[in-house]
Amino acid sequence: MEAELVALATSGATTMVNLMATNLWTTAQGRFAALFGHRAEAVAEELEEVREAGGEAEDLIAEWRPRLQRLLAADPAAAAALRALVEEYAPPAEAHGGGVQNTISGGEFHQAVIQTGHIGSVKL
C-alpha cells in the first residue's frame, strides 16, 4: 500500500506542476488545493506563489511529492480525489496510425520519396 501511495503522490505532484505551465491551471489549482481540506485557501495561495516564482519542474515535484504523501497517509479519502485529478488531467495517449501499404507500378523511379505523417509541426 505504501508503494501505491508514493506512486500516486508522485503522479499527483507531476501532474500539478505540469499544469502550472498551462491555461488549465486556473481550474485545476482550486481542485488540488481542495485536497488539503480546511487548509485549502492557504494551499491555493501557496500554489499561486510557487507558480509565479517559477523554478525547475523537478524541484517543484520534489517539494510537493512528500506533502501529497503525508496528505494521503493522513486522509485516505484524498487518494480517490487525487487519483481522479491525475486521470482527468493526464495527457492524451498518442494515437497510433494504421497500417500502410505502398504499391509502385509502371517502371523505375529515380527520385527521393518521403512518406510521413508529421514533419515538425506540419501534419501531412
- pLDDT tens digits, residue range 30-58? 999 999 999 999 999 999 999 999 889 99
State the pLDDT at residue 99.
Answer: 66
pLDDT at 62 over 90: yes
- Rounded CA separation 66/102 (Å): 53
- Rounded CA separation 29/104 (Å): 55
State the pLDDT at residue 115.
Answer: 64
Tell whether pTM > 0.75: no
Q: How many CA atoms lie within 13 A of 119 on its CB side?
A: 4
Contact 31, 41 (CB under 8 A): no
State the pLDDT at residue 29.
Answer: 94
